[in-house]
Amino acid sequence: MPRILLLGGTTEATQLARALADAGADATFSYAGRTRVPGAQPLPTRVGGFGGVAGLVDYLRETSITHVIDATHPFAAQMSANAVAACGETGVALCALERAPWISAPGDAWTLVPDVAAAVAALPESPARVFLAIGRQNLAAFSDKPQHLYLLRLVDEPTAPLPLPDTEVLVSRGPFTLADDLALMREYRIDLVVAKNAGGESARAKLDAARALGLPVILIDRPGIPPRRVCRSVTEVLDWLAHPADSCAAKRGV
Ligand code: 3Y8
Ligand code: NAP
């Protein structure tokens, strides 16, 4: 009977948690504790970092975890790298539940950039109205371009002054709909969208809205993650848990 640590924080992690709970699996859900009131899960839940690779190694050993499922967000690169290192050190089985990146469709006006700094550099010099839909953690980089109006969508009310002079703040945790994002972008007369290539369905509405409105998007590519076994669906993860020998996908490079 596997003893599972599920590193969560995404829609897919929540879906997997439901499937594991329904199957009576011995699993613990883990949040980083980034948000004030994270969504309740149908599994025993721990909140907070482990204390780097060493802390995660200790946790895995102390709790006799046999399988780690990394269902964190594609931009949670530090957690994912730590999981690869800790599972390598302890021999605990690791599988990532990872969603595919978004791919542009006819009508999309995307500029693909490698990271947040490149996204800042890609912004125009003349003042624009920017839907900066990347959350809270990377906002400071955009203070290099203070001339823009930034529409920010955050999970929680800001507790500290924002690093940008001209902002409109929305508090909403998603998932988001096309209708709502269309209305939002029209209401705020948005000129362009900055987003992370998160993949999945719960955050792509803003890209579909941008296409419908003929707006450009600056799309930030995912950070690199060390090779690990990757599953693309909850079903693949459940198959892997039941038959660890036939892995769900070959080790993936980046
Ligand atoms: C704490 C858990 C669920 C999971 C919901 C998904 C969908 C909604 C879209 C926009 C983009 C953004 C942000 C976003 C999305 C889902 C999913 C997803 C993007 C929660 C959650 C936690 C977090 C952390 C938070 C980050 C922030 C990023 C907002 C819960 C709601 C922008 C990423 O204030 C902060 O410190 C927020 C930090 C990391 C990125 C950032 O750098 O600011 N997610 N988001 C998890 C933890 O503590 O371990 O609170 O319930 C989860 C979800 N966020 O089950 O319903 O699966 O992608 N989250 C991005 O994709 O660009 C919003 O606004 O259009
Ligand atoms: P990160 O930069 O990769 O991780 C930084 C540190 O946070 C990790 O080293 C670890 O601390 C802790 N941590 C991260 N995820 C954790 C988890 N699920 N359980 C326990 N500790 C965790 O992570 P992040 O990008 O800030 O993301 C944090 C959380 O938000 C994750 O659950 C992620 O799935 C979710 N999320 C992130 C994004 C995003 O855009 N980054 C989007 C949606 C959801 P220690 O080193 O102390 O162990």
Read off the pLDDT band of 248 (50, 70, 90).
low
Residue 46, ligand 1, Cβ within 6 A = no
Q: Which residue has the tokens 């090779």?
A: 227
What pLDDT score was predicted for residue 1? 87
Contact 190, 183 (CB under 8 A): no
Of 155, 185, 197, 220, which is best to mutate to test ligand 1, by the most ligand atoms within 8 angstroms of its C-beta?
155
Residue 135 Rama label (left phi>0; alpha psi -120 to 50; beta) = left
What pLDDT score was predicted for residue 244? 63
| Cβ-Cβ contacts under 8 Å for 221 (sequence gap 6 or more) | 101, 112, 113, 114, 115, 197
Check if 3-100+224-242 and 110-220 are the same fold.
Answer: yes
- Taking the C-alpha atoms of residue 167 and residue 100, their distance in angstroms, rounded to an integer, is 31
Q: 196: buried, middle or exposed (CB in 10 Å: 19+, 13-18, 0-12)?
A: buried
Could you confirm whether domain 110-220 is CATH 3.40.50? Answer: yes
Which CATH fold topology does 3-100+224-242 show?
Answer: Rossmann fold (3.40.50)
Tally of CB atoms within 10 A around 4: 21
What pLDDT score was predicted for residue 243? 83
What is the average pLDDT score of the chain? Answer: 95
Tokens of 14: 């929540």
* Residue with CA nearest ligand 1 atom 46: 9
Residue 51, ligand 2, Cβ within 6 A = yes
Report which ligand 1 atom has the smallest distance to the Cα of 175: 8
- pLDDT, one tens digit per residue, over 19-64 is 999 999 999 999 999 999 999 999 999 999 999 999 999 999 999 9
Residue % of the chain over a pLDDT of 70: 96
C-alpha angle 134-137-140 in degrees, rounded to nearest 5? 95
**Is the pLDDT confidence value at 249 over 70?**
no
For the chain, domain boundaries: 3-100+224-242, 110-220
- pLDDT, one tens digit per residue, over 90-144 is 999 999 999 999 999 999 999 999 999 999 999 999 999 999 999 999 999 999 9
Count CA atoms within 13 Å of residue 192 on its CB side: 17
